Amino acid sequence: MRDLRLARHLSQEGLAEELGVSTRYLAGIERGERNLTLDSVDALAEQLGVEARSLIILP
């Protein structure tokens, strides 16, 4: 997820604000320390401009 965020020139702060979450929470997501609901995955995918399944299916 971090790579997608950086490829779109988004800061953690900016993306967290767009998602309505704290920067600390977003950082935890990027480190794999936080679990997401499907609604959160959908919102995150929309902000990153990718399909939701690309965030939950390992390469």
- pLDDT at residue 58 above 70? no
Q: Are 26 and 16 in contact (CB under 8 A)?
A: yes
Residue pLDDT, tens place only, 4-51: 899 999 999 999 999 899 999 999 999 989 988 899 899 999 999 999
Supply the pLDDT for residue 55.
86
- Round to whole Å and give the CA distance between 19 and 40: 8
Tally of residues, the chain:
59
Taking each helix axis from N to C end, the angle separating 12-19 and 38-48, rounded to the nearest 10 degrees, works out to 130
Supply the pLDDT for residue 59.
62
pTM of the full structure:
0.79
Domains detected in the chain: 2-56 (1.10.260.40)
